[in-house]
Amino acid sequence: MAALPSAHTSVDLAMPISGMHCAACVARVEKALAGVAGVLKAEVLLTENRAQLRVEPGWSAVALMAALRKVGYDIPLTQASLHLSGLHDAADALRAHEALARVPGVVLVQVNLGAATAALQALPSTAPGALLQAARAAGFGAALQTQTDAGSALAQEAARLRRDVLLAWALTLPLLLPMLVQPFGLHLMLPGAWQALLAAGVQFGPGRRFYRAAWAGLRAGSPGMDVLIALGSSAAFGLSAWLLGRGAGAMDLFFESGAAILSFVLLGRWLEARAKRATGAALRGLQELAPAQAELWRDGQWQLHPLAELKPGDRVRVRPGGRIPCDGRLTEGRSHINEAHLNGEPMPLARAPGDLLRAGGLNLDGVIELRATQTAAASSLAQLVRLIESAQASKAPIQGLADRVAARFVPAVMLLALLTLAGWVLAGQGGRGLLAAVAVLVVACPCALGLATPTAVVVGIGQAARRGLLVRDAGALEQLAGIQRMAFDKTGTLTRGEPELAHIEPLADLNRLQVQALAAALAQGSSHPLSQALRQAQGDLPTPEAKDLRTLAGLGLQGQLGELRLHLGSSRYLAELGLPTGAWESAAQAQATQGYSVSWLAQTQPEPRLLGLLAFGDRARTEARSALDALRAQGLRCSLLSGDRPETAMALARGLGFAEADDVHGGLLPQDKLSAIHAWKARGEAVAMVGDGINDAPALAAADVGIALGADGQGTALAAESATLTLLANDLRRIPEAVALARRTLLTIRMNLFWAFGFNALMLPLAMAGRLPPMAASAAMAASSLMVLGNALWLRRWRYKA
């Protein structure tokens, strides 16, 4: 984020403010805004939750937001996404970022080189036309992108490239034909004028895109690979034209070299565009889950409306085979809904009235109605798309080296080309030196270097999304690949988080069902998790109706059932009632060693006595053991950090294969878990923490990688706030899968960077020595980029093997 200047004169700006409730709020907001540099005047309208500002050059949208947030208010930002054509390397991405960041009102810009898009957050007053104008002024083609047109924009760019490729090769092949037939003893050399005409058609027809991009880069002070291509092809064309003007023969001209350079590069660009479409397939698949229209109840009838017109509270109907257009609560009908895009599971879920439905789900078999709770733009599907876009646009730390090299590469190559030319001129071979310099300019284009990391990141994060794994950024993938220890919370993470009645031991002349029925009678008036477990265990069995039900905080329950005065609670509660449990403590301890919590059922009227012991347990997730074993097989150490009693935590740990050396800890507060994370990191270990993202938030944030379980509907918020990875399905087997994917993605990035650096190290000396003709240099450069892209795309075929 940076300060973003407006126009050269003061302008009026309308800005929505959230969080205002009274006149005191108005005064506080006006004071905060007036104190921001560049704000000349600030008036706040409480009735419209809006501020009217007059700002001068130098005002900053980021400063406005910071000032408001400091006093407890905020500015709702709008989301925008642009498709950018002509985006080829890191220098292009930097130029696009800087151009868009200068638009007044833009708060955040993320340029996704792999998908050729820019995602922006801006003040609502920011005009889309200003964004388009800024991108085009920087030398890029730009179009506003909606959820449905991202793929078509890339397809249109590929079609334009295909047209240019066909035209370029149609004009270039006649120039290359003499070289192709010469080994067979045929001589079909075209006259010099014809060679010049065909080469000019390539140079100033399909090749004009390189001149435009080169000029834009030079004007912005960040020249990219297009400068090298334009210089190299122009040098070959210019030398040939000069020789032709001096009366050189057709055999002494090099028009085919300049044309071939452009033709090979265009072919590489077209194949690159097709590959980029493939890298973004997972994201576009998510975007296309949102239907273009929704069937809404308006004016007493069902009508089709554009999705943008849907509002919270609208009645929405979805027919069998249709996609859920928004988040909402099911009100009418029953059906099975496939939510594989959110939970990664292909099995459909049965949904009934009252259940929450998420945007993008596929309605399989019934006509249903729902009440919208969010607009389409604020739905869980839209949030998921934005988070994946943000992650794909981010940079892995390993990309820093490539970025630093690429930023200095073009000037260095231009200098190297001049030195090559000078060396050959001093050797008395200026013509050969010019061809060698052209080859240097072409073969050194940093295409492969710029594509090495972004393409692998886009594919890797897309692969994760298809598996129900939400990755916050590229750095998270790199860090996850290097994790040495995986620490787990217990309740709600390794266990189901829902206590169940595990054991009943009658202590009087009652059987188990009678003890359960009496306890369930007391549980009818309580929302405590143990009470819910009792009601669930009782199910459809008849439950006596108790009266005078009372909940005693921290102790237990009591109530009246006929002549019985019943109590259900802890040992401490019974001791206060004068009913010691000492005679049965051995039985209670036996349950505790199995990880169970114990409650006692007793009566105080007509005579005091104990009636039964009830043990409650939180069962381990069915997949927990297999997930832990898979992580151990990957070489990770697994640890348990629990807030539950130490004996309960140890009982669960034994059942899940934890050893003494695995650091099993119970009775921990959130700050204790945080201390454990810091202690492991201080020993030099790379640590990941897995939790439910609520009371584990400090540990999730402190770990090198925080992994949150998010199938409770809070997944997207957890991913943005505390965790670097979120499991959209609460399936722990996705964690070893995520580790394997991260390692494979990092290996792909390293292979790409090795090839990109190695290619230039190998080819540059050959070009400087005159052993690599310009035409061969252009083909080699294109092949290098395609090798990097192909290696990244191979990641799409990766499958996890446990």
Q: Residue 636 in contact with residue 740, Cβ under 8 Å?
A: no
pLDDT band at 20 (very low <50, low <70, confident <90, very high): low
| pLDDT value at 199 more than 50 | yes
Which residues, in sequence order, are CB contacts of 66 under 8 Å at separation 6+?
none
Which of 216-220, 291-295, 648-652, 709-713 has the lowest average pLDDT? 709-713
Cβ-count burial of 210 within 10 angstroms (0-12 exposed, 13-18 middle, 19+ buried)? Answer: buried
Q: Residue 385 in contact with residue 359, Cβ under 8 Å?
A: no
Read off the pLDDT of residues 739-792 as tens digits, 9 standing for 90 and up.
999 899 888 888 888 887 788 788 889 888 888 877 677 677 767 777 887 888
Centroid of chain to Cα 588: 48
pLDDT of residue 201: 93
Cβ-count burial of 748 within 10 angstroms (0-12 exposed, 13-18 middle, 19+ buried)? Answer: buried
- Does residue 612 fall inside a structural domain? yes
Mean pLDDT of 403-412: 67
- Does residue 598 fall inside a structural domain? yes
pLDDT of residue 155: 62
pLDDT band at 7 (very low <50, low <70, confident <90, very high): very low
pLDDT of residue 204: 92
Closest by Cα among 387, 389, 294, 283 to 341: 283
How many domains would you assign to the chain?
Answer: 3
Closest by Cα among 206, 337, 195 to 252: 195
pLDDT band at 261 (very low <50, low <70, confident <90, very high): confident
pLDDT band at 398 (very low <50, low <70, confident <90, very high): low
Read off the pLDDT of residues 505-535 as tens digits, 9 standing for 90 and up.
888 888 888 888 888 888 887 766 678 788 8
Closest by Cα among 391, 489, 484 to 688: 484
- Does residue 310 fall inside a structural domain? yes
pLDDT of residue 186: 64
For residue 487, the SS3 value is strand
| pLDDT value at 200 more than 90 | yes
- Of 330, 349, 368, the position where a domain reaches its end is 368
- Does residue 690 fall inside a structural domain? no
Q: Residue 123 in contact with residue 107, Cβ under 8 Å?
A: yes
Tokens 């007059």 -> residue = 54
Active-site amino acid positions? 489
Strand intervals (E) in 250-334: 293-298, 301-306, 315-318, 328-332
- Does residue 672 fall inside a structural domain? no
Q: How far apart are CA 664 and CA 680, in angstroms?
A: 13
- Is the four-CA dihedral 464, 465, 467, 468 of positive or negative sign? positive
- Does residue 343 fall inside a structural domain? yes
pLDDT of residue 508: 80
Residue 348: cis peptide before it, omega within 30 degrees of 0:
no
Q: Which domain holds residue 63?
A: 11-70
pLDDT of residue 2: 36
* Amino acid identity at 360: G
Of all residues in the chain, the percent with pLDDT exceeding 90 is 5
| pLDDT value at 137 more than 90 | no
- Of 70, 96, 118, the position where a domain reaches its end is 70
Number of residues written out for the chain: 802
- CATH number for position 298: 2.70.150.10
| pLDDT value at 370 more than 90 | yes
Q: How far apart are CA 759 and CA 265, in angstroms?
A: 16
Give the highest mean pLDDT range of 12-21, 108-117, 153-162, 715-724. 108-117
- CATH number for position 537: 3.40.1110.10
For residue 430, the SS3 value is helix
Read off the pLDDT of residues 51-70 as tens digits, 9 standing for 90 and up.
778 888 778 788 888 888 77
Tokens 């996704």 -> residue = 112
Strand intervals (E) in 507-643: 547-552, 556-561, 564-569, 597-605, 609-617, 637-641
- CATH number for position 39: 3.30.70.100
Strand intervals (E) in 606-674: 609-617, 637-641, 664-665
> In the sheet that 11-16 helps form, which strands lie side by side, from edge to edge?
11-16, 50-55, 39-45
Q: How far apart are CA 544 and CA 387, in angstroms?
A: 51
Q: 226 vs 678, which has greater pLDDT?
A: 678
**Mean of per-residue pLDDT scores for the chain:** 78
Q: How far apart are CA 270 and CA 792, in angstroms?
A: 17
For residue 703, the SS3 value is coil
Which of 91-105, 185-199, 450-464 has the lowest average pLDDT? 450-464
pLDDT of residue 170: 92
> In the sheet that 564-569 helps form, which strands lie side by side, from edge to edge?
500-506, 609-617, 597-605, 564-569, 556-561, 547-552
Read off the pLDDT of residues 716-735 as tens digits, 9 standing for 90 and up.
344 345 567 777 777 888 88
Which residues, in sequence order, are CB contacts of 414 under 8 Å at separation 6+?
227, 228, 231, 441
Closest by Cα among 211, 213, 199 to 258: 199
Mean pLDDT of 122-150: 73
Give the highest mean pLDDT range of 53-62, 193-202, 363-372, 385-394. 193-202
pLDDT of residue 202: 92
- Does residue 477 fall inside a structural domain? no
| pLDDT value at 79 more than 70 | yes
Two tokens, residue 476: 């998270």
- Does residue 113 fall inside a structural domain? no
pLDDT of residue 752: 83
- Of 320, 351, 368, the position where a domain reaches its end is 368
| pLDDT value at 149 more than 50 | no
Strand intervals (E) in 373-420: none
| pLDDT value at 712 more than 70 | no
pLDDT of residue 434: 80
